[in-house]
A and B are shown apart, each in its own frame.
Chain A
Amino acid sequence: MEYRDYYAVLGVDRKASADDIKKAYRRLARKFHPDVNAEPDAEDRFKEVGEAYEVLSDPEKRAAYDALGANWKDHQNFQPPPDWSQQFEFGGGGFTGHDGGFSDFFETLFGQHEFRGGGRSGGGRRAGGFKGADEHARVGITLEEAYQRASVEIDVRGPDGKTRRLRVKIPAGISDGQRVRLKGQGGPGVGSGQPGDLFVEFRLVPHPQFRPDGRDIHYELPVAPWEAALGAELTVPTLGGSVKLKVPANAQAGSKLRLKGRGLPGQPPGDQIVTLKVLLPKADTAEKKALYRQMADTMAFDPRAGS
């Protein structure tokens, strides 16, 4: 296992006062709290900081940790001294109620599993038991999976550190960040208590063509100037396959056309919003240049008139 330098994690001196340690912890907890910080490693950093504070805020644990010596480096290979468990006795109830997921290093030195049930779920006391801990997971899905309401496999790591694999059907009504509840799929209950729930947040991974906005899907359709000017019936890709779209005559670049109900499913389903993007053919031959000149003469068009 690896040694953890809890002082380095909190960015404090080995001689730091209890007050300084608390201040450092509070500051870092605010910074890395997964509800506040969207960075992917925020949760791991938050847990590290919590683990460091768990040890350094408790005088008994801190004294035991300090007794390992000051010469260890963070992540250095580590084995506890053979007589470790006899040397120190930790009074019960010393845990701050922090969520599970501590390092092997912590568990080996300070692990006391009987104090660690429940986690955050709190409340929910029923006669003779506690409701199990709720668990939270985040899963990235493609727009196609959301549209087809595919099934995704989610690996859930419980408070006991064990991983379970669940197959979850994506429901209608998913947009980016939408959460669902899976009743009874959290941690096991204590005694006659019910199991906790699993909450899953769906994140939509970026798509090369489609940009979701809630359940609506934005799509940019390239058109030729004459298609925009004269009107055209064009084939447009949607999540449910290609559809025909009638572009009205005298459409402009940036005009938006709505394909009702062609967005993500839900109650009501979203629309696909098609924005026209007029692309100009290059004037790269004498003939094409002549055509543009003829247009300039015939149209007498000033795009800046009225601006």
Chain B
Amino acid sequence: MTRRIDPQLLDEQLELTLRDMCHICGVHAEFLVELVSEGIIEARGVGPGRRRASSPVQRWRFDGVAVVRVQRAVRLQQDLGVNLAGVALALDLLDELEALRAGGRS
């Protein structure tokens, strides 16, 4: 059986709320807050937030690249038993390695 499905692009243009991220990545908001404070993923704050009507966390927006990073972080943490600082280090080094490999090809 084959049917055609249109996929959602997980790129830099995507704007996801904290709630979207929890749903897509299957993780709790607390975990995402930890990832942000560890610098593993980046949250863009939206709007100046004139009043305290909404908390800064509710204004956070994430792109599609963050989804991929969260998934990798979850896998590394579960499979290798590393803590978040270790996950952050591993992901940074892997990014660097990937950039070096891409540069080496040209």
Binding site for B on A (CB under 8 A): 26, 29-30, 33, 35-36, 38, 46, 50, 97, 120-124, 131, 134, 151, 153, 164-169, 171-174, 178-183, 185, 196-197, 199-200, 211, 213, 218, 267
Contacts and interface: CB of A to CB of B under 8 A. Distances in A.
Given A35-B76, A36-B90, A123-B26, A178 B2 contact: no
Interface string B1-38: 11111111111010000000011101110000000000
Interface of B: 1-11, 13, 22-24, 26-28, 64, 67-68, 71-72, 74-76, 78-81, 90, 94, 101, 106
B95 to A, nearest CB: 12
Given A33-B79, A36-B94, A122 B6 contact: no
Residue of B13, B68, B79, B94 contacting most chain A CB atoms (<10 Å): B79
Given A29-B80, A124-B26, A181-B67, 20 more contacts: A26-B81, A36-B94, A120-B75, A120-B78, A123-B26, A134-B71, A167-B5, A168-B5, A168-B7, A169-B7, A171-B7, A178-B11, A179-B10, A180-B9, A181-B24, A182-B7, A197-B24, A211-B106, A213-B106, A267-B13
Contacts of B67: 179, 181
A197 to B, nearest CB: 7
B71 A122 contact: no
Nearest to B31: A123
A171 to B, nearest CB: 5
A33 B9 contact: no
A47 B106 CA distance: 33
B76 A33 contact: yes
Contacts of B9: 171-174, 178, 180
A178 B79 contact: no
Contacts of B72: 35
A40 B68 CA distance: 19
Nearest to A171: B9
A167 B8 CA distance: 14
B7 A120 contact: no
Contact of B28 (A50, A123, A182, A213): A123
Contact of A121 (B10, B26, B94, B106): B26
B26 A168 contact: no
A267 B64 CA distance: 14
A124 B23 contact: yes
Given A179-B64, A180-B9, A211-B106, A167 B3 contact: yes
Given A29-B80, A33-B76, A36-B94, A169 B2 contact: no
Given A33-B80, A35-B75, A123-B26, A181 B10 contact: yes
Contacts of A164: 1
A167 B94 contact: no
Contact of A183 (B8, B22, B74): B8
A134 B7 contact: no
Contacts of B90: 36
Contacts of A171: 6-7, 9
Nearest to A165: B2
Contact of A131 (B1, B5, B26, B74): B26
Given A180-B8, A180-B10, A267-B13, A199 B1 contact: no
